[in-house]
């Protein structure tokens, strides 16, 4: 009788369940944060900061701030699925994708650095 102690990283980090976005009859699989290199992870962190740390108390050019946020969202989409990022998406669609992605990957991101997920939720 052999009792095995197994650390199943696929199960722990959700690799057993792909993250899929359906659009126009096609499925787009999103990369999980666990697959990022250290450079990609830190780049993602900087992009997160652009999205979540807007200062409404300062006098800011709202159009410029909106472009910065949307550009950061586009960069994140390119990181998690370049083909999906090429689609003409409305801002609300991008937001929903990233919000859902954040919720699905929240445990993995918190496991890595103890902080919140991609959209700061």
pTM: 0.75
Give the pLDDT score at 30: 95
pLDDT band at 120 (very low <50, low <70, confident <90, very high): very low
- In tens, the pLDDT along 81-95 reads 999 999 999 999 999
- In tens, the pLDDT along 20-66 reads 999 999 999 999 888 899 999 999 999 988 888 766 666 678 888 88
Burial category of 95 from C-beta neighbours within 10 Å (exposed 0-12, middle 13-18, buried 19 and up)? middle
For the chain, where are the alpha helices, taking DSSP H only? 9-12, 38-52, 62-80, 82-85, 91-113
Beta bridge partners of 20: 29
């Amino acid at each position: 009788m052999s009792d095995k102690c197994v650390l199943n990283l696929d199960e722990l980090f959700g690799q057993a369940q792909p993250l899929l976005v359906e659009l126009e009859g096609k499925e787009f699989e999103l990369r999980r944060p666990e697959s990022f290199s250290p450079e990609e992870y830190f780049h993602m962190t900087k992009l997160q900061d652009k999205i979540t740390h807007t200062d409404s108390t300062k006098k800011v050019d709202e159009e410029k701030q909106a472009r910065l946020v949307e550009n950061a969202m586009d960069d994140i989409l390119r990181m998690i699925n370049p083909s999906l990022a090429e689609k003409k998406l409305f801002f609300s669609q991008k937001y929903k994708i990233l919000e859902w992605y954040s919720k699905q990957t929240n445990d993995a991101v918190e496991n890595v650095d103890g902080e919140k997920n991609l959209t700061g939720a």
